[in-house]
Amino acid sequence: NPTNCKVILANNIAKRLHGEVQDGLAALGRKPHLVGFLANKDPAAKMYADWTGKTCVENGFDFTLQQLERESLEEAIRAANRDAAVDGIIVYYPVFNPSRDRTIQYIVDQRKDVEGLSPYLINNMYQNIRFLDPPANVQKSILPCTPLAIIKILEYLQIYNTILAYGNRLHGRRITVINRSEVVGRPLAALLANDGAEVYSVDVTGVQRFSRGEGIRKQQHAVEDKDGWTLADCLAVSDVVISGVPGDKYKVPVELVRDGAVCINFSSEKNFTPQIKEKASIYVPAIGKVTIMILLRNLLRLVQNQPGTGGS
Ligand code: NAD
């Protein structure tokens, strides 16, 4: 029973970014060096670390994995911050608990932060400040990898309308994001709203709306609690549905998704049942390969932003 849904695999989207990264690398003429810190015993983190390493090496980057006891982590990050042979740092979380892990993110030098999670970068992102060197505006700020990967996917799918001015290209789009974590869902909702979308951000506690307001007149998004709203209200009006709920129990109710919606899953489990293909116009079942290419792109950008490299 064929459907008209187009299933887009992350691989195809990653290929385009791969070309861009290779061009940047060729212009640089040296291998950027990423150091990964693994200080937990989580097999999934080890797998992700190995996958990062493999992708780095395959793409012409150097990668070193440091496996260490968690109480040695902070000093090891400080040493890497000082080490001129280290271009980028990635820490595999969780290490302690969410609040102590946040303080670890603070230690990573912003100039080496491939994940874009250090306070200055995150503040730029929420405030819609896109460059590190105003008013010259040559050096682009670093954005968190998974949210940026999802933006690159939306660009690839032409949800971003290039007829509109840069920074306004999601004007008129209504997007539901199911997940409001500090590493993915909340920054993603902010980025999409800063680009002009009306975003419904859904988590276990309820719904919030992220938007630059009528006619996208505000310079940056504002957030509003939507008391009494449910996921059903959000899905009924959304052209795009992005879901990232952890675990294999959660499924987006297909019957509530708009006919012809674009559906993207970033959870490591499948948040959409196969029936989504009866409803969606486009379905992206996984995004990991794009995220890792963004990680390399961020690393390249950090090196391009180093003094003497000439900006990017
Ligand atoms: P998290 O546990 O920090 O956050 C989960 C979010 O989902 C929270 O906002 C929570 O309120 C919300 N949520 C949980 N149950 C819900 C429900 N029933 N309805 C609505 N919202 C609900 O997790 P995280 O770090 O954001 O990661 C989420 C998922 O994304 C995981 O599966 C993770 O493996 C995956 N992930 C994928 C990539 C990638 O590149 N593919 C990157 C990072 C994370």
pLDDT, tens only, 203-215: 999 999 999 999 9
40 pLDDT higher than 90: yes
First to last CA, the chain: 49
Residue with CA closest to ligand 1 atom 29: 267
What pLDDT is recorded for position 260?
A: 98
pLDDT band at 309 (very low <50, low <70, confident <90, very high): confident
1 pLDDT higher than 80: no
Residues in the chain: 312
Average pLDDT score over residue span 78-100: 96
Angle at 105 between CA 67 and CA 124, to 5 degrees: 145
What pTM does this model have?
Answer: 0.95
pLDDT band at 310 (very low <50, low <70, confident <90, very high): low
Average pLDDT score over residue span 24-45: 95
Q: Please state, in angstroms and rounded to a whole number, the distance separating the CA atoms of residues 296 and 59.
A: 9
**Residue with structure tokens 């990967």?**
149
Bridge partners, residue 206, by sequence: 203
176 pLDDT higher than 50: yes
Catalytic residue among 56, 145, 234, 263: 145
3-state secondary structure of 180: coil
Asked whether 266 lines ligand 1 (CB < 6 A), one says yes
With beta carbons less than 8 A apart as the criterion, state whether 8 and 280 touch: no
What pLDDT is recorded for position 312?
A: 46
Asked whether 176 lines ligand 1 (CB < 6 A), one says no
What pLDDT is recorded for position 227?
A: 97
Residue with CA closest to ligand 1 atom 35: 267
Task: List, as own/partner pairs, every contact residues 21-24 make where C-beta atoms lie below 8 angstroms and the sequence separation is at least 24, other chains included.
Answer: 21/59, 21/293, 21/296, 21/297, 21/300, 22/59, 22/60, 24/297, 24/300, 24/304, 24/312
Bridge partners, residue 131, by sequence: 140
Amino acid symbol at 63: F
Q: Which of 103-112, 128-137, 293-302, 303-312 has the lowest mean pLDDT?
A: 303-312
Q: How far is the CA of 273 from the centre of ligand 1 (A)?
A: 17
Residue 92's contacts (CB-CB under 8 Å, 6 or more residues apart) are 36, 37, 38, 39, 40, 42, 45, 48, 49
Asked whether 184 lines ligand 1 (CB < 6 A), one says yes
